[in-house]
Chain A
Amino acid sequence: MASFIEKLDECGFAEGCMAYLDHYPGEESSSKIVLSVQIKNSGPIMAVMDTCAPWCIFDPDLLSLLEIDEEDGYRPEKGLNIRGTIYYGALVRVPVTFLADEGIDISVEATVFIPEREYDSPRYFIGLDGCLSRIRFAIDPSENIFYFGQ
């Protein structure tokens, strides 16, 4: 499936890879990189890779079902600007696992922002500094493959 996994594994860059969707389901008009990840002990979730997002941002409803307690987190006085609107909420530490189609899964303990109220956009964003900055990654848009390693 992935043309470069053996080469990237040999040189120590990537240990796993997954196919990604190039748009969020239901939003075909807008190009994105949509990854398959697991949050804590959830089933696989579709999350938008967003290198502009300072933190991961996850849906408050689903997180409550995963028994992730906002009370364990830190509630800053300032809000976070999501697409031009300020949202208040809590920052928590949550394990986010990148789910490999080939190779190995990698779990990262990430900082995640949980807004107090719903926002009108895809439910999950994987941010750069709070999560992606800890792994190596590469994108092959010709095959829609996300390579990752530690």
Chain B
Amino acid sequence: MMLDMNRLAVRLAQKGAGIFPDDLRKAARVLREPRIQGTAPASDRKLDASRKWLCKYADQYKGKWVAVQAGNLIGAANSARELKNVISSLFNSKDTLILKVM
């Protein structure tokens, strides 16, 4: 079974877990239909300003991981781990946009 054959993989994992519960429990848990986990009102993350910054300046940071908050660059680094060290707790902030520029 190729991993690209996702629908077949989901069906087989669910069916197989009924026959071989010990062996396929993990596969059945991972290979199942996606499900809605929850909803929440949108909050003001100022992502529009950060997207505009990317359109304007991303080319200057090719190959780098960058963090942009409210339209301002707050960090750039060679790896995600290095970027996390640079910007510390802002790394997981809900309004800090993280990406690797290609």
What is A's interface to B at a CB cutoff of 8 Å? Answer: 15-16, 18-19, 21, 24-28, 36, 38, 41-46, 54-55, 59, 61-62, 65, 73-74, 76, 78-81, 91-93, 95, 99-111, 113, 121-123, 129-131, 133-135, 150
Contacts and interface: CB of A to CB of B under 8 A. Distances in A.
Q: Which applies to chain A's interface (DSSP): helix, strand, loop or mixed?
A: mixed
20 contacts: A18-B47, A25-B99, A26-B61, A26-B102, A41-B92, A43-B91, A43-B94, A43-B96, A54-B3, A65-B81, A74-B13, A78-B1, A92-B30, A101-B48, A104-B39, A108-B36, A108-B37, A109-B37, A111-B34, A122-B100
Contacts of A129: 6-7, 10, 34
B4 interface: yes
Q: Which applies to chain B's interface (DSSP): helix, strand, loop or mixed?
A: mixed
Nearest to A124: B99
Contacts of A95: 37
A15 B36 CA distance: 14
A74 B47 contact: no
A134 B102 contact: no
Contacts of B86: none
Interface of B: 1-7, 9-10, 13, 26-27, 29-42, 45, 47-48, 50-51, 54-55, 58-59, 61-62, 67, 79-81, 84, 90-102
Contacts of B30: 73-74, 91-93, 111
Nearest to B101: A26
Nearest to A54: B6
Contacts of A59: 80, 100
Given A26-B102, A54-B4, A105-B40, A43 B92 contact: yes
A58 B59 CA distance: 22
B102 A80 contact: no
Contacts of A18: 47
Contact of A44 (B4, B97, B101): B97
B92 A107 contact: no
Given A43-B98, A81-B4, A131-B34, 10 more contacts: A19-B51, A43-B67, A43-B90, A43-B92, A44-B96, A45-B97, A78-B3, A99-B45, A108-B35, A122-B100
